[in-house]
Structure 1
Amino acid sequence: MRKTEALLIGGRSGVGKSSVGLEVAARLRAADVGHAYIEGDTLDAVHPAPDGDPHRSGITERNLAALWANYTDLGCHRLVYTNTASVLGSEEWLFASALRGPRIIRVLLTASDATVEDRLTARELGSELEQQLRRSALMARRLDEHAADDTRRVATDGRRIEDIAADVVAATGWTSLKSPETISRAGRAN
């Protein structure tokens, strides 16, 4: 049985985790690299929080383990997972438990306050904008200070999703896809 590998894409609200995660999954499909994609924010979307679990970590673990069991039954051994705090060293227990000790690749997406404010203002159409901006700024500091030591940082300011995703995929070592488009973008970046 092959060892599980988990690509954890973290970052503050408004940094582009979901968009980048979906593009990473698209690139892996194009390269015919087997994987599963899980949006971590959906694993604990329950209100009120379960008794005794105000941070919803127990339900997150159970849901991740259940989904992963289904994917491994299909022969999957690579996971692309997006969630704000996933790159924190304190979150490693979740993946060790639910995925049974995977090789972990951490990528922290970063963006300036101005970029995040623009993105969140466009996205948050309801009453949550001010709260999202405050939480995003607090989490940016926490992630910068407490991301696991092996976390790779990838800036998203002023960059195309495709270019960011190419950097993230390169961090995995899962593919050597060298389409002309990939080669030309890599050449411009250096």
Structure 2
Amino acid sequence: MESAEVLLIGGRSGAGKSSVGYEVSALLRAASVGHALIEGDVLDHIHPAPPGDPDRSGITGRNLAALWANYAELGCRRLIYTNTAAVLDGEQRLFEGALGQDVRMHHVLLTASDETAAARLRERERGSELERQLRRSAQMARRLDEHAAPGTVRVATDGRSVTQVAREVIAATGW
């Protein structure tokens, strides 16, 4: 069986991960390239955290493995995965555990200026989370820049269309 390939799209809140992930999927679909898309943020959205799993990595891995098993059973070999921290050095363990040891990883870090990220977050956040998201976005931008996995491709999103960014992301995979 052919090994799996994963496109990890990471970036600060407001960088455009979800929009770009969906556009990458649309462009691949138009080119008849098989794939699945998983929004990593939904895999650990549980409160309170499960006992013994304070950072929710255990439930994330279990949910990822369950979804991937279903996709793989249907013959899927490519996964687009969006999540803020997906490109951090050391995250490969999660994917090896869920998809197998032979997984090939493509790390793409979407970047956005503080101003761009804040404007996007102000458009998106309608509830009580805006201030928290703004603070976390700035903190994660620094962390991602310093601790992205070796070989991570950085793609700027400021002033660019989602389609332009998605095309550059796909080019980084060779798909």
The TM tier, using the shorter chain, reads over 0.9
The alpha-carbon deviation at position 11 of structure 1 amounts to: 0.2
Query: Partner residue of 1:185?
Result: none
Aligned residues: percent identity? 70
> AA paired with 2:129?
E
- CA distance in 1 between partners of 2:122 and 2:154 (Å): 24
- What aligned pairs does 1:38-187 form with structure 2 within 5 A after superposition? 38-101=38-101, 102-174=103-175
SS of equivalent residue, structure 2 residue 8: strand
> AA paired with 1:96?
E
Number of aligned residue pairs: 174
The alpha-carbon deviation at position 56 of structure 1 amounts to: 0.4
- CA distance in 1 between partners of 2:125 and 2:30 (Å): 32
CA-to-aligned-CA distance 1:112-140 (integer Å, 9 cap, x gap): 00000100011111111110000000000
Query: Partner residue of 1:5?
Result: 5
Pairwise CA RMSD? 0.5
SS of equivalent residue, structure 1 residue 90: coil
Q: TM-score, normalised by structure 1?
A: 0.91
Q: TM-score, normalised by structure 2?
A: 0.98
- CA distance in 2 between partners of 1:140 and 1:63 (Å): 26
> AA paired with 1:93?
R
The alpha-carbon deviation at position 89 of structure 1 amounts to: 1.2
Runs of 4+ with deviation above 3 angstroms: none
- CA distance in 1 between partners of 2:118 and 2:84 (Å): 16
The alpha-carbon deviation at position 106 of structure 1 amounts to: 0.4
SS of equivalent residue, structure 2 residue 3: coil
CA-to-aligned-CA distance 1:124-181 (integer Å, 9 cap, x gap): 111111100000000000000000111000000010000000000111111xxxxxxx
- CA distance in 1 between partners of 2:69 and 2:172 (Å): 25
